[in-house]
Structure 1
Amino acid sequence: MDSQTFAATGNKTVGRVRGSNQTGVRAHNERLVLTLIRQHGPLAKAEIARLTGLSAQTVSVIMRSLEADGLLTKGEPVRGKVGQPSVPIKLRQDGAFFLGLKVGRRSLDLVLTDFLGVIRSRVHLTHRFPTPDGTVMFANHGIAQLLDQLSEEERGRIAGMGIAVPFRLWDWAKSLGLAPDAMDDWRTRDIRAEIESRCDFPVFLQNDASAACSAEVVFGEADGRPDDFLYFFIGFFVGGGLVLDNTVYTGKTGNAGAVGSVPIAFNGTRLTQLVDVASLSCLENAMVEQGLTADAIWANPQSWSVPQSLIDTWIEDASEGLAYAIASASSLIDFGCVMIDGWMPEDIREELVKRTQDKASSLNTAGIELPHIQAGTIGSDARALGAASLPLSERFLVDRNALMKG
């Protein structure tokens, strides 16, 4: 494995990863309270009772239970109003920990996050292409390495792990410059089950683009964000997600929101798919054609060593494709906004968003109202954080549709 930042653990056998599993699945009303505080920020008991419709006594019992379990903590009293000062209750940052594994076509990332979604530590590996054996080995060593950095009490608060992986990886061998059968092992291997067999916590799996979208919903900046939006994440291939009523809609096959497959008109005439113009593979190919190495794209998403002329050309093509895709999608669903994120430096993402806004405004969109186009709020770690959000959502949150009020 050709890693730049993966800390090797040698050939030692990595044993079963153990934890006390104290943070089990919560009862519905407890999850309801945790969901509201995550969405709204610190809340007083009276406000929680109002939002949920639960009695003040019931809310007090729930809050005491969640505080005792280390998931909530009291904030500073808010004074200046009539009566007793209000005491907001907030999430305890070290209340639970989660692992998120991103399987990318050019890199692997494993992150350890706390209850607020802050990344505590990470392991990164670049590769030519992902294999099941390499991914499982990376995960097993990485989990042991990250958990070694926690105290015994913190390890007992590991609540699960998520995996974000492109579905049907074997279909993309040709696009990666490989023999047609080079990735056939992915057809029969269940890496989720293989990794979980070495752990004492549950492991979940989701499509990588849908996971990135989940990160925006769970950890993103919710203030002013509409409940319905279309999401694009630009990695080796562009992908995305569909959010309806603040919930990621994946469909019966898990591929809803597969925006890379959207047919678009390119250069005003040629019909192609969005994936062919708005993916980082296009930028990689342009670099290779000029005799350059594309490693600079995948090693560090915060800093690229890429000729500006190639970046400008890629942004021009990608923004045109995105504009057409947004116009097409908006004719079917009345989105509140469109969010664009990706594995790229923030300044390049901002320029891509601006250019997409300009391209979209120049299209003939008579009969529809185009949504506001803006940058995502997570950044390059969206897929890994989205993976970490899977056990968090499964064990501590409720679907928005289950909220009784608010």
Structure 2
Amino acid sequence: MTTARPTAGTEGLRRQNTAVVLRALRQHGPSTRAELAKLTGLAKATISVIVADLEAAGAVSEGGSRPGVRGRPGRPVGLRGDRFVALGLELNVDYVSAVVLDLAGQVLLSESRPAGTTDALTDLVRDAVAEHAGPGRTVIGTTLAVPALVRGDNRTVAWAPNLAVEGAGLADDLGGLVPGGGVSVSNDANCAAYAESHHGAAVGVAHALYLTGTVGIGAGIVQDGELVRGGAGFAGEVGHMPVGDSTALCGCGRRGCWEASVGLHAMLAAVGMPELDTPLRTAEAVAARAADDPAVRAGLERVGQDIGLGLAMLSSVLDPEVVVLGGYFAPLGELVLEPARQTLGERLASAVQVRPELRLSTLGIQAAALGAAEQSLGPVFAGDLDLADPEGWPSDSQA
């Protein structure tokens, strides 16, 4: 059962009850008022008031009867996808991405461009806003994913070893381009992990670890659908663990980082192939060559072993049920998964330790942007942004 969280004050209680209804509709799909009462534990009269307010705001609508249901059932209430949307963005070393996600969780736009520059991101943002914002549609939040440590204010980039980005300048610049003017910034691995737990390979998994596969290597940790960020918000910066080749130079300036052994450039050095315009296209070309080239397969086996070595360390600390490998790892599949799985099993100290299931991401290069968009919807489903109160909407996107 989805239940409302206690909060002080009548207005606060109303907002939390509204949020719990929205969460139930997002999780279970269109439901009658009677079904919503069962799912949320709220009284039917309360449900009716909330549904009426949300319908007036354009957040929900009532449809016809569902097929296969006999008698005179109530009409199901469902989330509308045309009124409220969220924007997710990613700036990475060699590409930019944008995702527009509606309230019901449907992707309206998913696009990547092979140029990891702020100018390319700016152009993509302008195009996305022009196509998916305007009269009758409210952009309720924008989040930018970056391969960096991001401070707890969700705006300030503290350290980005592979990007020339620092401080809150990027959030400020983008704020002038998006409706509402506010842009949150989040770590790319955290965003991708969040996407996997809500849309991808980790849906329904209580304890999951997501591993990026780009020029940089990072991890996102998810427990019960929520991110684990640590004391300063920096949890998951695994690419610089000293578990790689001790002679390999990393982008951070040190030697021996895991990233310098399993990042995209390290993989390409191991197989002797050039980089293409995006990590996925690069990996697809490597996988195709591996089908006929034993030297490429051998190089990928070494990379897979190094992946397994790092995962053994992380598994000993975090004990995940599932590890999702994203980015360039996905097209390579078993070419890296099998040696990673074997090394992981060998390196865990005890036979009683559960070997996590290794899964490949199904979300493609837009995983981080999708997770960023999903995070932008967070205030709605948490009850912090009231869709039934236009005064609280981002001012630039009101109808």
Q: For residues 384 and 349 of structure 1, what CA distance do their matches in structure 2 show?
A: 22
Indicate which of 332, 335, 338 corresponds to 2:323.
338
The answer as to whether partners of 2:194 and 2:225 remain within 8 angstroms in 1 is no
Kindly tell me the number of residue pairs found equivalent between the two proteins. 349
Matched, 1:246 2:225: yes
* Residue matched to 1:101: 89
Q: Given the superposition, is the C-alpha separation of residues 210 and 44 from structure 1 closer, same or farther in structure 2, using an over 3 Å criterion? A: same
* Residue matched to 1:19: none
Task: Give the Å deviation of 1:382.
Answer: 0.8
Task: Give the Å deviation of 1:303.
Answer: 4.6
Which letter maps to 2:195?
A
Task: Give the Å deviation of 1:298.
Answer: 4.2
Indicate which of 348, 355, 370 corresponds to 2:332.
348
Q: Given the superposition, is the C-alpha separation of residues 119 and 362 from structure 1 closer, same or farther in structure 2, using an over 3 Å criterion? A: farther
Partner SS, residue 217 of structure 1: helix
Partner SS, residue 113 of structure 1: strand
Q: What percentage of aligned pairs have identical amino acids?
A: 26
Q: For residues 112 and 356 of structure 2, what CA distance do their matches in structure 1 show?
A: 37
Q: For residues 36 and 317 of structure 1, what CA distance do their matches in structure 2 show?
A: 46
The answer as to whether partners of 1:327 and 1:365 remain within 8 angstroms in 2 is no
Indicate which of 125, 131, 140 corresponds to 1:159.
140
Which letter maps to 1:237?
G
The answer as to whether partners of 2:206 and 2:222 remain within 8 angstroms in 1 is yes
Q: For residues 45 and 283 of structure 2, what CA distance do their matches in structure 1 show?
A: 49
Q: For residues 188 and 335 of structure 1, what CA distance do their matches in structure 2 show?
A: 32
Give runs of aligned pairs for residues 161-176 of structure 1, distance below 5 A: 161-167=142-148
Give runs of aligned pairs for residues 160-309 of structure 1, distance below 5 A: 160-167=141-148, 183=164, 186-188=165-167, 190-201=169-180, 202-220=182-200, 225-264=204-243, 272-286=256-270, 290=272, 293-298=274-279, 300=281, 303-304=284-285, 307-308=289-290, 309=293
* Residue matched to 2:102: 114
Partner SS, residue 370 of structure 1: coil
Q: Alpha-carbon deviations, 1:198-244, whole Å to 9, x = none?
A: 43323111011111112123333665x32221111211112111112
Q: For residues 103 and 45 of structure 1, what CA distance do their matches in structure 2 show?
A: 42
For structure 2, the 5+ residue unaligned runs are: 1-13, 150-156, 247-254, 385-399
- TM value normalised by structure 1: 0.73
Q: For residues 263 and 93 of structure 1, what CA distance do their matches in structure 2 show?
A: 46
- TM value normalised by structure 2: 0.74
Q: Alpha-carbon deviations, 1:309-368, whole Å to 9, x = none?
A: 475345323322332333323333332222222146x54245433443333334454141
Partner SS, residue 194 of structure 2: helix
Structural RMSD (CA): 3.4
Which letter maps to 1:387?
A
For structure 1, the 5+ residue unaligned runs are: 1-25, 177-182, 400-406
Q: Alpha-carbon deviations, 1:277-324, whole Å to 9, x = none?
A: 22112134457xx5x641244484785367434753453233223323
Task: Give the Å deviation of 1:63.
Answer: 2.1
The answer as to whether partners of 2:90 and 2:144 remain within 8 angstroms in 1 is yes
The answer as to whether partners of 1:101 and 1:111 remain within 8 angstroms in 2 is yes
Q: Alpha-carbon deviations, 1:155-193, whole Å to 9, x = none?
A: x322221100122589666x78xxxxxx3xx33452112
Which letter maps to 2:285?
W
Partner SS, residue 149 of structure 1: helix
* Residue matched to 1:124: 113
